[in-house]
Structure 1
Amino acid sequence: MDVHQLRVLAEVARTGSYTAAAVSLGYTQPAVSYQMRRLQEAVGAPLVVRTGRGLQFTEVGHVLVRHADAIFSVMRAADQEVASAVAHGGGLVRLVAFQSSCVTLVPRVIEELSTAHRHVRVTVEQAEPVEARRLIRTGEADLGLLCNWENEELPDGEETMLRLELMTDRRFVVMREDHPLAARPTVDLAELADNNWVMESFRDRFLAACTNLGFAPRVVATVDDALAIQVLVSSGLGVTLMSELALHAHVMPGLVCRPLDNWPLRRTYLLLWPDMLRVAAVSTAVRVIRAKAQELAATGPAICPSRTRRAP
């Protein structure tokens, strides 16, 4: 086996065909077929089998793809470690992060790095956890800020990567302060069955919870920008659900936020290949992210403090 054959294998696994892998790598299709044939000869077992017009990886093939991902991770870490050593500990860290972290945790991290660790440069790309996980696995990002719910199993694709827990946050109902439930300390989802909703695109868990409670929510607006959501709620269009982390950034005047009862906590964590911690710039970024996450978790969001009323 050599690294070129493993790179072809990984690209065939990613694209699903020899032809697509050839286009992606800039090879000819016969060249990809030749490299795959040589790799299977070296392994001594079939890696892929044809199923009609498609390909299916064998168990041996899946095992080798996982190892190929790890090998490329080590190579990327070595490349960045050398570059960082040349730059006296500096270097570029490519960070991918989910939406609410981009308006709360990430700005604090960038500010700290820009003042105390100017040798570390950071780029940021916003992506939902599924896409962020793919970017980390393929090496298109060095470090990921991801989230999932506390009662979920370990997501597929993270088995061989390093996961560092950072903080948890709650789900809140956001509504106008003249809403009938605004004076309540907490709100149950069932009590909002007759309301209109302003929601994000990714709302499968919300819809499932409503179905379990026996109602279909009236979603009157689908918006993926946190400020736009608050503006629409403030206008009286409906109520919404937002994460505690997002509410650290801003709450519009006239709105109140109440914890949602019987909803799991959301976990925010860092995801990276273990070898990337050997890269000085990445290691520095990880330390700063963990410290800022602890600060954020300790302070808690200032959620409508001047408009909080006691429940009757």
Structure 2
Amino acid sequence: MLDIHQLKVLTEVARTGSYTAAATSLGYTQPAVSYQMRQLQQAVGTPLVVKVGRGLRLTETGRSLVQHADAIFSVLRAVDQEVSSQVARGGGLVRMVAFQSSCVTLVPELVARLRRLHPEVRVTVTQAEPVEARHLVRTGEADLGLLCNWENEDLPEGEATMRRVELMTDRRCVLMPEDDPMAAQETVDLASLASRDWVMESFRDRFLAACTNLGFEPRIVATMDDVSAIQALVAARLGISLVSEMALSAHVAPGLVYRPLRQWPLRRTYALLWPDMASVPAVMTVLEEIRGIAAGLRRPPPG
């Protein structure tokens, strides 16, 4: 019989890459972690980790067991949530994690709807980029995540065993002053912007790679991760920017316009959760409201 505490130690060893780091994370001593791992490997009858340099690597059996352990922990969290919801007469707390654009569009409308239609359901929200958000959902630190990726990307690692609910797509847009020469075009080609100054977000690897493929290095004059700050700097004519259509649907500063970037993949927004969490009434209420909000979010006119 597998021990739930030993499985927890295994998943933490897999996440941190060492017994020492796992012990620190769990609040155990290093010998205690070693003992739990020895007991688990004896119960399974085969090694679960092997040493690689100064670190550890999971064996094939270890990887399989970690996947099953994640699913087991998900079931336990779902049961805990469901019992809590029943005690609260259909209510409950849903811990959400969401990426930046959704925090200024989907999330505020969700909170308003819950207060109006489902006052017994409460949410907490943490902003995080998709990689971190995926980790928080997988480890049970969040019940539901709002994530995004590009339509031409493969399924992100770690999502194969989880439930993914597609919500909407939006475009990448060039934000500029309304009197900019490019504002007369319906869509903008990135190559035509090679000589421009840019106000960009920190996460811009795809943008930089696209510029490199077109043979130029963009002049980035400011790095900002706040949409309002980006708009203020573009309005001040420090440079132009690339901003998601979703973020711009919430607000566009006076004097600015945006045009979709030509031949750029659509961005997909989706909800991510463990399948068992879908049986929790509070989580399903939140998910259904998000789906309704996303379905009603129409693309605003670009001008």
**TM-score range for the pair, normalised by the shorter chain length:** over 0.9
Do the aligned partners of 1:245 and 1:301 also contact (CA within 8 Å) in 2?
Answer: no
What are the equivalent positions in structure 2 for 1:272-283 lying under 5 Å apart? 272-283=273-284
AA partner of residue 61 (structure 2): V
CA offsets 1:111-131 (integer angstroms, 9 cap, x no match): 001110001000000000000
2:165 partner letter: L
Q: Secondary structure at the match of 2:183?
A: coil
Q: What corresponds to 1:270 in structure 2?
A: 271
Equivalent position of 2:92 in the other structure: 91
Q: Which position in structure 1 is the counterpart of 2:122?
A: 121
Paired residue for 1:231? 232
| TM-superposition CA deviations, 1:28-77 (whole Å, max 9, x none) | 21111111111111111100112233211111111111111110000000
Structure 1 residues 189-238: Cα deviation after superposition (integer angstroms, max 9, x where no partner): 01111100000000000011111111110011000000110110111111
Match of 1:139 in 2: 140
In the comparison of the two structures, how many residue pairs are matched? 302
Query: What's 1:177 paired with?
Result: 178
Partner of 2:24: 23
Matched residue SS, 2:24: helix
Partner of 1:307: none
Partner of 1:216: 217
Q: Please, what is the CA RMSD of the aligned residues? A: 0.9
Partner of 1:309: none
Q: Which residue of 1 aligns with 2:204?
A: 203
Determine the C-alpha separation between the residues in 1 that align with 2:264 and 2:21. 43
Aligned to 1:2: 3
Length-normalised TM-score, structure 1: 0.95
Distance in 1 between residues matched to 2:52 and 2:203, nearest whole Å: 34
Deviation of the 1:242 alpha carbon: 0.8
* Structure 2 gap ranges (5+): none
Task: Summarize deviations over 1:156-180 as a string: whole Å, max 9, x none.
Answer: 0101000000000011111111211
TM superposition score normalised by structure 2: 0.98
Of stretches 115-124 and 8-17 in structure 1, the one that deviates more from structure 2 is 8-17
AA at the equivalent of 2:103 = C
CA distance in 2, matches of 1:185, 1:23: 55
Q: Tell me if the contact between 1:251 and 1:303 (Cα under 8 Å) persists in the aligned partners.
A: no
Indicate the residue corresponding to 1:300 in structure 2. Answer: 299
Q: What SS does the corresponding residue of 1:182 show, helix, strand or coil?
A: helix
| Cα drift, residue 302 of structure 1 | 4.8
1:271 is paired with a residue whose SS is strand
